Amino acid sequence: MKPGLLLIGDATQRMLDRFDAEFTVHKLAEIDDLQAWLAENGEGIIAVATNGHAGVKPEIMAGLPNLKVVSCYGVGYDGVDTDACVERGILVAHTPNVLNDDVANTAILLMLAASRDLVFNDAYVRAGRWEKEGNTPLTRSPEGKTYGIVGLGRIGETIAEKLAAFNARVVYHSRNKKDGVDYEYYPDLVKMAEDSDYLIVITPGGAATDKLVNKQVIEALGPQGTLINVARGTVVDEEEMVKALSDGRLGWAGLDVFREEPKVPSELYDLDNVTLLPHVASATHETRQAMGDLVCQNLSSFLKDGTVETPVPECAHLQ
């Protein structure tokens, strides 16, 4: 008999076909009475496929006594309680690296959209205003500016490499200075924001980074500064950011992520100085397929020899 897999959230048909080949798949979305279902089927589930936002809620974890592996669709796994997993010896896997380019491209896309007022100019043409009102105001060149990257990890470094095309001065902030890179390191985020034209946020979410980009950082970036967030909405003090964008203390923002997705602060809808995306940084056919394949590969590998290819760092010692 095939072992049981609980699927939390969506999966593509390609993923479902691979899951079906090795597991008996149960979809959370099709379960009406969770507690009754867990009581009846929980013992047979050894694997969960989920995403970093949905994670595995405590009541589900509690109802799966034989859970051994959680495979996350996404590099961020802030929705998964890794401490609880480690305590129970449950391996957690995620999908690093395969999405670096598309997420970095999205940061560049938002940076360019902000600097050239893309959304405003597009709306201006569509509304027939060009013919009636003439040319729009000049915008800002992205060339030769200072870009402060908050979190120079796998994606942050990919962003830095792509910024070379804009003759950028790249600087970065993280908890640790990184070996093997020449970019200037700022241990003080406020100081880096002061020195930056663009602040690009690409750290993990979770408690450790909650409101890392606070009022002081936002004001240091200032009226001529641009905030790009492709990390998690929680990393920025959203309320302060909205106020600062509204009253001119912060110049521009390009945002792929929000604190309470899919809710977006409605004040942002009326602002010309923001570009808004619905958390799509990795959402290309190519990258999502690679992420899905890695989710499946991690599960197959676990069935074969109890290891996964890409464990989250907190769980690496479990294999």
**Residue type, position 33, single letter:** D
Distance of closest approach, residue 280 Cβ to ligand NAP, in angstroms: 7
Residue ranges with strand state E in 223-313? 226-229, 252-255, 274-276
3 near ligand NAP, rule: CB under 6 A? no
Alpha-carbon span 260 to 282, nearest angstrom = 19
Task: For residue 232, state whether it binds ligand NAP (rule: CB under 6 A).
Answer: yes
Element (H or E) spanning 101, and its range?
helix 100-115
CB of 281 to ligand NAP, least distance (A): 3
196 binds ligand NAP (CB under 6 A): no
Q: Within the chain, how many helices (H) and strands (E) appear?
A: 12, 12
Positions 165 through 184 that interact with ligand NAP (CB under 6 A): 174-176
CB 154, min distance to ligand NAP, A: 4
312 binds ligand 8YV (CB under 6 A): no
Binds ligand NAP by CB under 6 A, chosen from 81, 197, 238, 256: 256
Q: Out of 76, 79, 148, 254, name the contact with ligand 8YV by CB under 6 A.
A: 76
* CA distance linking residue 160 with residue 171, whole number of Å: 9
Region label for 119, one of left (φ > 0), alpha (ψ between -120 and 50) or beta (otherwise): alpha
> Please, which residue, 42 or 81, has the CB nearer to ligand NAP?
81
Which of 286, 288, 282 has the alpha carbon at shortest distance from 107?
282
52 binds ligand 8YV (CB under 6 A): yes
Catalytic residue among 161, 261, 267, 309: 261
Residue 76 beta carbon to ligand 8YV: minimum distance, rounded to whole angstroms: 3
d(CA 152, CA 242): 25
Cβ-closest residue to ligand NAP?
A: 153
Respond yes or no: is residue 261 known to be catalytic. yes
For 37, residues 6+ apart whose C-beta sits below 8 A from its C-beta are 26, 31
CA–CA dist 92, 255 (Å, integer):
28
279 is catalytic: yes
Residue 123 parent element (H or E): helix 118-126
Note whether 8 binds ligand 8YV by CB under 6 A: no
Is residue 59 annotated as a catalytic residue, yes or no? no
Active-site positions read 232, 261, 279
| Interface ranges with ligand NAP (CB under 6 A) | 75-76, 96, 99, 103, 151-156, 174-176, 202-205, 208-209, 212, 230-232, 256-257, 279, 281-282
| Interface ranges with ligand 8YV (CB under 6 A) | 51-52, 73-76, 99, 279, 282
